Amino acid sequence: MKIEPKYLVLASLAAAIVALDQATKIYIHTQFQLGQSLVVIADYFNITYVRNPGAAFGILSEAPEMFRRVFFFLMTPLALAVILLILRGVPSNDRVQVLALSLIFGGAIGNYIDRLRFGFVIDFLDFHWRNLYAWPAFNVADSAIVVGVGLLILAMFTTPPTVESGDATTTGP
């Protein structure tokens, strides 16, 4: 039985993302106090230890804890299964979609590990513009998910649609 290259890409890239994500989060969790901030680029970028009990950008952070725990415990495995089902239908030579789904898959696992271990996600990348605007803190896993979703959106607008005719699938006009 030969494993298709797209699954090897998924496994390798997801493992690399999870490893980098967890290594950075372990460092932040053990070396920083909650709320502690280190200025990297004055007025623009800090490393700040934040705990996010919600989803991306704090969505659902105000929801009851039991709801969040059940929701995230069930939704992440479901999302991972959906990604695998989608990947199954993606041609191995469609590098953009394979890369995108692999990034999302790895990022989802990285944040899921935090939710299982701590009940929250460790965030620390803190971008802001002086004291006027602050982007919600995020992490390596979040970055992978956002880049993956961005690539999928890009692929939607740049890949010509396919038209099925009989037994063969062809590129549309």
pLDDT, tens digit, for every residue of 42-69? 999 999 999 998 776 667 777 777 888 8
- Residues spanned by the domain of 91: 5-33+56-122+141-152
Residue 158 lies in a domain: no
Residue 76 lies in a domain: yes
State which amino acid sits at residue 140: V
Output the CA–CA distances (angstroms, integers) from residue 94 to 91, 105, 152, 164, in the order listed: 5, 17, 11, 18
Active site residue 21: no
Residue of 21, 114, 123, 126 marked active site: 123
Residue 70 lies in a domain: yes
- How confident is the model over 92-119, as pLDDT tens digits? 999 999 999 999 999 999 999 999 999 8
Which pair of tokens denotes residue 166? 């009989």
Residue 113 lies in a domain: yes
**How many structural domains comprise the chain?**
1
Q: Is residue 133 over pLDDT 60?
A: yes
| Predicted TM-score (pTM) above 0.85 | yes
Active site residue 142: yes
Q: Report the run of H or E that residue 8 belongs to, with start and end.
A: helix 5-31
Residue 96 lies in a domain: yes
State which amino acid sits at residue 75: M
Residue 130 lies in a domain: no
Residue 157 lies in a domain: no
